[in-house]
């Protein structure tokens, strides 16, 4: 089944809802964002994430020292980069990683081949911040560029109504959502459940 990451979680009850509904990964945002949390808060929230569900930290251009501290203290399973991190930087960091690419044109997609990373996450360009905008991009740009489906994470403007179609068209390894499971800027238990159910329904269809 397509894996699901629910990103930008800030409250224990939403983590519990996501886990019970079957989320495979939880995202904590350390990058500048309206969803940014402190290292102490993340450490507390991490206690609600059981073994087997991945804890992924979202960063924009962190120093290696910052990264090491956060990965070890929370602790995190993966680091997800949304800034100007170079292929060399990602090799140096030595943590399991996801490189996010903001897609406007085909060359943004092609850029992915430069990175020696575990997964490539394709997202819409951010607006106020480097991600989590709730905007979508043209999924057709992902076609025919040799990105292995088992390395591809699709993000950007996904929600319970369009995620089935997205899976059907793109066939990603994982889908990632933040804004699409929020109401007035706060995560919604109902939308988290509906999103994960929509992924399951698509698998059965
Ligand atoms: O979510 C944020 O606020 C954020 C801020 C800065 C960099 C990355 C950020 N989020 C990363 C994610 O993994 C989001 O889930 C992804 O961008 C999709 O967001 P959305 O379009 O809101 O579903």
If you measure from the C-alpha of residue 173 to the centroid of ligand 1, how many angstroms do you get, rounded to a whole number?
Answer: 17
Pocket test for ligand 1, best of 58, 82, 195 (most atoms within 8 A of CB): 58
Average pLDDT value for residue range 141-155:
87
Q: What is the reported pLDDT for 147?
A: 75
151 pLDDT tier (thresholds 50, 70, 90): very high
Q: What is the reported pLDDT for 171?
A: 95
For atom 9 of ligand 1, which residue has the closest CA? 131
| Residue 201 known to be catalytic | no
- State in words which class domain 3-204 has: alpha beta
Phi/psi at 25 (nearest 5 deg)? Answer: -150, 145
| Residue 123 known to be catalytic | yes
- Cα torsion for 169, 171, 172, 173, to the nearest 10°? 160
ipTM value > 0.90 = yes
Q: So where are the chain's domains?
A: 3-204
Q: What is the reported pLDDT for 200?
A: 97
Determine how many CB atoms are found less than 10 A away from the CB of residue 67.
22
| CA-atom Rg of the chain in angstroms | 16
CA atoms of 105 and 93, how far apart (whole Å): 28
| Percentage of the chain lying above the pLDDT 70 cut | 100
């Amino acid at each position: 089944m397509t894996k699901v990451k629910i990103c930008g979680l800030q409250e224990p009850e939403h983590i519990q809802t996501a886990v019970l509904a079957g989320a495979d990964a939880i995202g904590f945002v350390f990058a500048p964002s309206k969803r940014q949390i402190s290292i102490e808060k993340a450490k507390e929230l991490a206690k609600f994430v059981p073994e087997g569900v991945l804890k992924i930290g979202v960063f924009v251009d962190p120093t290696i020292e910052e990264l090491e501290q956060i990965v070890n203290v929370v602790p995190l399973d993966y680091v997800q980069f949304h800034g100007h991190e170079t292929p060399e930087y990602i090799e140096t960091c030595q943590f399991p990683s996801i490189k996010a690419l903001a897609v406007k044109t085909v060359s943004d997609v092609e850029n992915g081949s430069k990175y020696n990373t575990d997964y490539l996450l394709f997202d819409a360009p951010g607006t106020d911040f480097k991600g989590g905008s709730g905007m979508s991009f043209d999924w057709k740009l992902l076609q025919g560029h040799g990105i292995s489906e088992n390395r591809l994470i699709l993000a950007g403007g996904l929600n319970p109504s369009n995620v089935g179609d997205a899976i059907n068209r793109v066939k990603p390894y994982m889908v990632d959502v933040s804004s699409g499971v929020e109401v007035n800027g706060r995560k919604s238990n109902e939308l988290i459940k509906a999103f994960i159910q929509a992924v399951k329904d698509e698998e059965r269809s």
